[in-house]
Every structure is written in C-alpha cells, then in structure tokens.
Amino acid sequence: MNADKLLLLQEELRDLENAATHLRFSIDRTQNLLNQQDWQPEELERLESLASRFARLSDLLMQRVMRLVDDLELTATGTLLDRIHRAEKRGWVDDSIKLVQIRELRNLIAHEYAADKMAEIYAAVVPKVTAYAHELEKKYPVR
C-alpha cells in the first residue's frame, strides 16, 4: 500500500471525526426545536447548520473516505452505488439502503434553495438527520 495514501486516509478519518463532533454539537443545539413548526431566524440558522454539517459528513464519508479505501485496495471506484455496496460488504453498515437514504437526504439538503420551503425541509430532515447520526455514532463511536 502506498504510504502517502495511508497518511491521507488518516487525515481524512480525522476530518470525518471532526465533522462528526460538529454534527453532534448541532444535534444537541437543535433537540429542543424538533417539535416546533415556526422558528425564529436564529433557530433556523441552527437548523441550517445541522443540515449543512450532516451533508458535509455524508460527503466526507462517501466521496472521500470510501473512494480512498477503494483506491488503497486497488478496487475500481465505480459509481457511488458501487461504493455503498462495498461498504456493506466491508461491514461498515448493516444494510446499504441506509447509506442510500443518507445520500438522498444529503441531496435534498444540498439542492433545496427556496427559502420559503426551508421550514418544511427542516421539519422532514432534522428527525432523520438525528436518527442517522445516532445510529452511526453507536456503530462508530468517537475515541
């Protein structure tokens, strides 16, 4: 294995851990907002931070870490779906459908620009983000 790529993987894993810590912070800051329907601007800012941090963590995992592991194992990268299925085979997730759902949620977050729809999106997204984050945290506890 290439020593430079192993160092890069260590760096990417540190970035992933930092992103998980930031996501956890945002989850803690938004817990009391989950049962609300109308949010104040500062509350919307916290929710936007949560959604953004979730999307970042998803990107780091699927686009950087999973791709780099494939490269280290001399596996053709293929599509994102190929990487997701390999993650299941490696035992990183119990069911590849979870990673597909995480990616779909990330895409919803990343591609919704209409400010008038953000409250609706947060109402749908935040409980899922929280559930997925807790699930991943149980499987991969931060040191």
- How is residue 138 written in tokens? 């149980």
Give residue 114's pLDDT.
Answer: 57
**83-125 tens-digit pLDDT:** 999 999 998 888 999 899 889 888 888 876 656 666 677 777 7
Contacts of 78 (CB under 8 A, 6+ apart): 70
Give residue 84's pLDDT.
Answer: 94
Q: Long-range contacts of range 130-135, CB-CB < 8 Å, 24 or more positions apart?
A: 130/27, 130/30, 130/31, 130/34, 132/54, 132/98, 132/101, 132/102, 132/105, 133/20, 133/23, 133/24, 133/27, 133/54, 133/57, 135/98
Residue type, 87: A
Sketch out the chain's domains with CATH numbers: 3-139 (1.20.120)
Distances (CA, A) of 108 to 1, 65, 105, 119, 126: 37, 22, 5, 13, 12
